[in-house]
Structure 1
């Protein structure tokens, strides 16, 4: 069945791959970018099935206009894919507050703003699917990517709450968590700063790895797009969907280490419960 999609950040990367796959599959698309002239080839190839729109995801009026375009052109909105985003590499100490704000504004508040723009329509329709592009960096905090990880961890929490609020209304939510894919995310889209020598073994190592990794990532953007479209076709899609063997491996290892830490510190954690009549000296870390 043909769906109406709205995808943010379709000028390049996974957003572009997803836009192409959506249109090739016979769906309708509102394709957005800061500069919609970068999407002219989509209009030329797919004609009335696509409308291109200028969208700054941090601007509420711009987001509302993009959603309105979907209704005006296609009569409804089935799938919103919040894909727009970027992430630089640099140490926390050397990243300016302005850079923190810029990355968090795009990656987190952009997702919140466009989601909120679509919610009244989907609530009134009684259906819809919101697909949030997070990252493996939304599950694991990599050195050198503090603003990006802070934003993506925020997307994860926001979207989990969203799923609980809108699920009873017929609206589905899926959080996409890609690993490394062969897009320009680690290339022209990213500023890589090795920084001062004190951080060479952490941030510097990450910047060099990211530079060398570009073009060698294990993920295929076309396969990622196909997986996302498949998830959007399901009556009961997953809340979270990892993409890529590196993402699966990294999260499995990280979750196992986290579970072991929970077990190690469990007694201390549960010792903080209130116990009527318990006096001093009842704490498990105190010497017997």
Structure 2
């Protein structure tokens, strides 16, 4: 069945791969970017299926305008994919507050704006799916990526709670947690390194060195695979509130969950002691 998809952050990388996959399946797609001319080639190839829109994800009014344009052009909104993201690398102590705020504004508040814009339409339809692109960083810890990972952990927590709130309304919500991908986003993250104190050379510095090494590129996987998985997720009758995406993500995510469970078990007695009889 032909559906209408709205995908944020569509100019490159995973967002563009999702748009291309949805178009290939015959769906209508509203693809957003800060510079929509980057989508001109797809607009020419799919003039009846694609609507390119400018979107600044930190602007709630802009998000509502895009949803209105979606309804005006295609009459409904079936799937929202919030993909836009921004990453900075550096120690938590030394990272400038504006770089911290920029990551939360884009990654978390961007998801909030997108959901708030789409939900009234989906509630009226009594149907819809919301897919929030999170990260394996929502489950693991890496020195230097603490702020980005914290913003993505917030996205995954948002998805879990929102899924419970809107399930009775016919709306499903999933946070997709990919591992590392070959995208310009990954390249940009490695270049946006905030200066850090030499005390962090062996922790944050090691992460930065790894990201900038030639060997690191060999561990990255094609975003087209994640895009294909997302289209499968959207077809599920019982969408999970959170799902890992990619072999690396699955291995690291389940490993981190196991370590967390082991730590909880180790400190069970101390934890339970907080309850006063």
Separation (CA, whole Å) in 2 of partners of 1:155 and 1:130: 12
Matched-pair contact (CA < 8 Å) for 1:122–1:171: yes
Separation (CA, whole Å) in 1 of partners of 2:155 and 2:248: 21
How far does residue 196 in structure 1 lie from its aligned partner after superposition? 2.8
Q: TM-score, normalised by structure 1?
A: 0.92
Please give the secondary structure, in 1, of the residue aligned with 2:217. coil
Question: Who wins on radius of gyration, i.e. which is larger?
Answer: 1
Please give the secondary structure, in 1, of the residue aligned with 2:174. strand
Matched-pair contact (CA < 8 Å) for 1:184–1:214: no
How far does residue 194 in structure 1 lie from its aligned partner after superposition? 6.5
Separation (CA, whole Å) in 2 of partners of 1:78 and 1:35: 24
How far does residue 71 in structure 1 lie from its aligned partner after superposition? 0.5
Which residue of the partner structure matches residue 121 of structure 2? 121
Which residue of the partner structure matches residue 131 of structure 1? 131
Separation (CA, whole Å) in 2 of partners of 1:49 and 1:217: 34
Pairwise mapping of residues 31-46 of structure 1 onto structure 2 (< 5 A)? 31-46=31-46
Please give the secondary structure, in 2, of the residue aligned with 1:48. coil
How far does residue 203 in structure 1 lie from its aligned partner after superposition? 0.5
Which residue of the partner structure matches residue 275 of structure 2? 273
User: How many correspondences in the alignment?
Assistant: 275
Q: TM-score, normalised by structure 2?
A: 0.96
How far does residue 193 in structure 1 lie from its aligned partner after superposition? 4.6
Which residue of the partner structure matches residue 141 of structure 2? 141
Please tell me whether residue 150 in structure 1 is matched to residue 139 in structure 2. no
Please tell me whether residue 81 in structure 1 is matched to residue 81 in structure 2. yes
Which residue of the partner structure matches residue 176 of structure 1? 176
Pairwise mapping of residues 246-257 of structure 1 onto structure 2 (< 5 A)? 246-257=248-259
Matched-pair contact (CA < 8 Å) for 1:174–1:240: yes
Pairwise mapping of residues 141-220 of structure 1 onto structure 2 (< 5 A)? 141-190=141-190, 191-193=192-194, 195-212=196-213, 215-220=217-222
How far does residue 139 in structure 1 lie from its aligned partner after superposition? 1.2
How far does residue 245 in structure 1 lie from its aligned partner after superposition? 1.2
Which residue of the partner structure matches residue 19 of structure 1? 19
| Structure 2: 5+ residue stretches without partners | none
Matched-pair contact (CA < 8 Å) for 1:86–1:103: yes
Separation (CA, whole Å) in 1 of partners of 2:208 and 2:275: 43
Quick one: higher RCO (CA 8 Å, sep 6+), 1 or 2?
Answer: 2
Separation (CA, whole Å) in 2 of partners of 1:240 and 1:80: 16
Matched-pair contact (CA < 8 Å) for 1:30–1:70: yes
Deviations 1:197-250 (A, max 9, x none): 211111011111111255323422111111000110111122211111111111
Separation (CA, whole Å) in 2 of partners of 1:87 and 1:197: 22
Separation (CA, whole Å) in 1 of partners of 2:189 and 2:207: 16
How far does residue 30 in structure 1 lie from its aligned partner after superposition? 0.3
Matched-pair contact (CA < 8 Å) for 1:8–1:33: yes
The root-mean-square deviation of aligned C-alpha atoms, in Å, is 1.3
Segment of structure 1 superposing worse, 84-93 or 189-198: 189-198
